[in-house]
Amino acid sequence: MQGELLEAVNNEKRKEIIALVATMGKVEIDTIFNVLCETKKEKVACMHIHLPKLDDFDIINWRKKKETVSKGEKFDDVVSTIDYISDIDLNED
């Protein structure tokens, strides 16, 4: 399960979605599209790949009918892990 969770956040677009939710809290889908998606292909990928994957792992709560995204149950833990990994200097001797 941990490996799958890491895979879920090991994608630049999903990290951008997480960062946007971290900054704004509750985010409308249109805002995600306007801020993070430059093409129709990116919008489709968000709707059919990235948002569902983050929602499946409870990283976000995706309310399809309300067209909003907010922090999920595991959101804070995932953000802490991403921050920790980002701070590691892999080139240290």
* Angle at 36 (CA atoms; ends 80, 9), nearest 5 degrees: 30
Count of Cβ atoms closer than 10 Å to residue 58 Cβ: 15
Domain 2-87 has CATH 1.10.10.10: yes
* Predicted confidence (pLDDT) per residue in 33-90, tens digit: 999 999 999 999 999 999 999 999 999 999 999 999 999 999 998 888 777 766 665 5
| Residue-range domain boundaries for the chain | 2-87
* Predicted confidence (pLDDT) per residue in 2-14, tens digit: 667 777 778 899 9
- Spatial separation of the C-alpha atoms in residues 43 and 49, rounded to whole Å: 10
